[in-house]
Amino acid sequence: MIKCPLCDHKEQELTSLSYHYRFGHYKSSEELYISVICNGNAPSCKCGCGGKVKFLDISKGFSNFIRGHSSRVKNNFQSDKAKQNSLQTRRKMLETGEWKPFSNKETGEHWSKGLTKETDERIAKMADSIKNNQEEITKRSARMKENRLNGRVPTLRGKGHPQWKGGISSLLSTCHANRKLYAEWKYPKLRNSNFSCQECKREKDKVSSLALEVHHDKVKMSTIVKLIAEEKGWNDYHALCPDTDEKTQALKTEIADAVADFHIKNNVSGIVLCETCHEKEHEKYNL
């Protein structure tokens, strides 16, 4: 027999007692279930979030999880094959626009678009939590590098880069920033100098590696750039000036690649200097 928590009435079945409870005391079946079966404590989601779960009926009671929360403890993607299939499906949905993670239903745009740490408290907290956590910074940096190398995160260049400003870099700056020039001409010289200034002998632990530069000690970089630029049809006397024309951008890239090849093929002479010593080698510090 099950006794009513509000009076002496008893019933054999909980469903029969529910009828008495609802129409005799004008209380809900949910309240009766909590009082009789749950000892007065309403159950919460079993994933641990503490959220309120749905009451089904007097015979079934409450559901175990809030909708969608069961995957937190009952992961269906146990095998590597299932994980890969799921990943591929999500990628296709992302490419077609069928799935837009973190997007607002009203606008279809990412929830944080246009927001900054100065205007949004959530982003400010997120930025502070990362800024003060070196372990998290290192982990994110390694993950981003891995994703860029395996193609999961595309490398953005030119117009596709968020900081693209129309190609206003000068020809000389474009040549200096050439990846091949750094990898096959500048970096070997930095490594051979043990990342130390060859003039003042300051070692790498006494000067920031970012302050070390490779100085053209025999032939100026500007001379090499102008020579190759003229060969490629860049006939403007002010050959180092920027230009935003698309054809000019393509020509700038072609010249920069040729300048890198020239340095590598001819083993152009250069010495490693810190920023302070490098400035002494130029009347105007324009490299």
Is pLDDT of 240 > 70? no
Q: Which of 114-118, 213-217, 238-242 has the lowest mean pLDDT?
A: 238-242
% of the chain with per-residue pLDDT over 90: 28
What pLDDT is stored for residue 166 in this prediction?
58
Q: What is the mean pLDDT of the chain?
A: 83
pTM of the complete model? 0.45
Which DSSP letter does residue 44 get? B
Q: Would you say 248 and 255 are in contact if contact means Cβ atoms under 8 Å apart?
A: no
At 254-283, the pLDDT tens digits run 999 999 999 999 999 999 998 888 888 876
pLDDT at position 118 is 87
Region of poorest pLDDT, from 86-95, 202-211, 218-227: 202-211
Q: List, for residues 38-88, the tens digit of each pLDDT value.
A: 989 999 988 888 889 999 999 999 999 888 888 777 665 566 777 787 778
Give the mean pLDDT of 149-154.
80
Please give the Cα distance from 90 to 86 (Å, whole number): 6
**What are the DSSP calls for 76-101, one per residue?**
S--SHHHHHHHHHHHHHHHHHTS--T
Residue 162 has pLDDT above 80, yes or no: no
Of the ranges 68-82, 151-165, 229-243, which one carries the lowest mean pLDDT score?
Answer: 229-243
Question: What are the residues whose beta carbons fall under 8 Å from the beta carbon of 282, sequence distance 6 or more?
Answer: none
Classify residue 257 as left (phi > 0), alpha (psi -120 to 50) or beta: alpha
